[in-house]
């Protein structure tokens, strides 16, 4: 837990400042939907989903694009599964793969869940959500390289993030199917 705090201590206060701004913007969208004649329950539900989705995107961007302290330069790793296998087989402690690989997957699960719930069309939701998650991850990796933030642009991050978006999309579809009357 202490490592998480050290890693994200610079991001958390900024994220806490952004939350009220996103909620206020969401409230304006809710009011606009009501003026257009949308049922109150549906307007509230989709406003909350959009707020959470926006916060998910902002959170991912803050965690992945904020410069690392005391690190400069850029690195590029384009060998698929290279760093995944390295972390799995060469870690000094069993928690290292869980933290490094698991975090990249977990990071995109909320994105997948929320996008699957937001998409209007029910056909190919998992595919669309997964592809959008992959596009978002590729964008982040390109920005990490271009911004020279002291981070490694890694194809394995794209693979793991896309897996997280896929898992989230599956969970979102399950939620959607279980609550058809509500969504």
32-91 pLDDT, tens per residue? 999 999 999 999 999 999 999 999 999 999 989 887 766 667 788 999 999 999 999 998
Q: Contact at 8 Å (CB) between 105 and 167?
A: yes
pLDDT at 2: 63
C-alpha–C-alpha distance, residues 180 and 183, integer Å:
5
pLDDT value at residue 173: 94
DSSP labels, 20-45: HHHHHHHHHHHHHHHHTT--HHHHHH
pLDDT confidence bin for 100, thresholds 50/70/90: confident
Same domain, 110 and 163: yes
The Cβ of residue 174 has, within 10 Å, a number of other Cβ atoms equal to 12
Out of 66, 95, 115, pick the residue that ends a domain: 66
Residue in this structure with the two tokens 């206020």, named with its chain if needed: 24
Residue 113 has pLDDT above 80, yes or no: yes
Q: 7: pLDDT confidence band, cut at 50, 70 and 90?
A: low
What pLDDT is recorded for position 9?
Answer: 73
**pTM across the whole model:** 0.88
Please report the sign of the dihedral spanned by the C-alpha atoms of residue 140, residue 143, residue 144, residue 149. negative
Domain-terminating residue out of 32, 66, 100: 66
Indicate if 100 and 158 belong to the same structural domain. yes
Residues 15 and 92 in one domain: no
What residue has token string 């982040």? 140
**45 with 91, same domain?**
no
- The residue out of 15, 46, 66 marking a domain boundary is 66
Percent of the chain scoring above 90 in pLDDT: 67
Residue 156 lies in domain = 73-183
The answer on 51 and 82 residing in a single domain is no
pLDDT score at 71: 66
Within 8 A by CB and 6+ apart from 170, the residues are: 112, 116, 126
Task: Indicate if 93 and 111 belong to the same structural domain.
Answer: yes
For residue 140, CA distances in Å to 18, 96, 133, 149 come to 20, 23, 11, 12
**Does residue 83 sit in the same domain as residue 149?**
yes
Residues 61 and 80 in one domain: no
Res 142 pLDDT > 80: yes
Q: What is the dihedral of CA 119, 124, 129, 134, to 10 degrees?
A: -150
Domain count, the chain: 2
């Amino acid at each position: 837990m202490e490592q998480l705090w050290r890693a994200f201590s610079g991001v958390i206060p900024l994220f806490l400042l952004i939350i009220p701004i996103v909620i206020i913007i969401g409230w304006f969208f809710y009011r606009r939907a009501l003026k257009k004649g949308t049922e109150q329950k549906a307007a509230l539900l989709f406003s909350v989903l959009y707020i959470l989705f926006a916060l998910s995107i902002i959170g991912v961007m803050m965690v992945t694009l904020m410069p690392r302290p005391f690190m400069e330069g850029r690195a590029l790793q384009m060998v698929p599964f290279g760093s995944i296998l390295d972390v799995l087989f060469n870690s000094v402690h069993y928690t290292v793969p869980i933290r490094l690989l698991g975090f990249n997957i977990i990071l995109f699960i909320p994105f997948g869940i929320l996008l699957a719930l937001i998409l209007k069309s029910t056909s190919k939701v998992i595919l669309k959500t997964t592809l959008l998650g992959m596009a978002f991850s590729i964008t982040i990796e390109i920005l990490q390289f271009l911004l020279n933030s002291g981070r490694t642009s890694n194809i394995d991050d794209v693979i793991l993030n896309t897996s997280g978006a896929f898992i989230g999309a599956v969970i979102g579809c399950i939620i959607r199917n279980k609550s058809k009357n509500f969504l």
